[in-house]
Amino acid sequence: MKTSSIAPFFATLQAANPQPVTELAYTSVFELLTAVLLSAQATDVSVNKATRTLFPIANTPQKILALGLEGLEGYIKTIGLYHSKAKHLLQTCEMLVTLHGGLVPRTREALEALPGVGRKTANVVLNSAFGEPTMAVDTHIFRMGNRTGLAPGKTPLEVELKLLKRIPKAYLVDAHHWLILHGRYVCQARKPLCWECSVAAFCDFKPKTVKN
């Protein structure tokens, strides 16, 4: 993607969705951290279904700890890898209580020190909860970065660093959400819907034409 195409690319996405947000349901920073931790290799829909019953009962580190392992697993067993996620979440809650007064820390270093929290999860929390201009590269953003030519790279970190460098500052805080949503619903993995893509004019990808 040409540098001159990047600003209109994001301006078009912004015009269609001026205030993009994550599709994970949450009402506090801790709920967001919990939802993102549970969302690894799972859909937002499946996570929201589980947290819809979990959060009314336990939506603080202290309340999650009070559930215990079996109690917590009972709420999240419909999510993939629920056993390891339950252990990580309990360990994270223990650290939040003992090291951070029950609050979610605002630094990358402290977030990534929590069990089950990697760079991508930390980036989501920093961006969605604290408004930091971070880029959480999931499968959709990795695909978009490479397919569009916006930020080609062989690893998520390479794509992340290129995106942070190429995206204009005015769009950077919301770019993560625009790219995820566009990748999820339009620029899909197997069959991108190029014929209904609002930013196709700026994209390097050329769909194959079907011969009669």
Q: Which residues are catalytic?
A: 120, 138
Task: Name, in order, each residue with C-beta under 8 angstroms of 43's C-beta and a sequence gap of 6 or more.
Answer: none
What's the CA dihedral at 44, 57, 20, 203 to 10 degrees? -20
- State the residue for tokens 């961006």: 127
Running DSSP on this structure, what letter comes out for residue 104? -
Helix (H) or strand (E) holding 185: helix 169-185
The C-alpha atoms of residue 37 and residue 183 are separated, in whole angstroms, by 21
The C-alpha atoms of residue 205 and residue 66 are separated, in whole angstroms, by 51
Number of Cβ atoms within 10 Å of the Cβ of 31: 19
The C-alpha atoms of residue 133 and residue 124 are separated, in whole angstroms, by 10
The C-alpha atoms of residue 11 and residue 4 are separated, in whole angstroms, by 12
CA-based nearest residue to 96, from 128, 136, 127, 65: 65
Task: Name, in order, each residue with C-beta under 8 angstroms of 4's C-beta and a sequence gap of 6 or more.
Answer: none
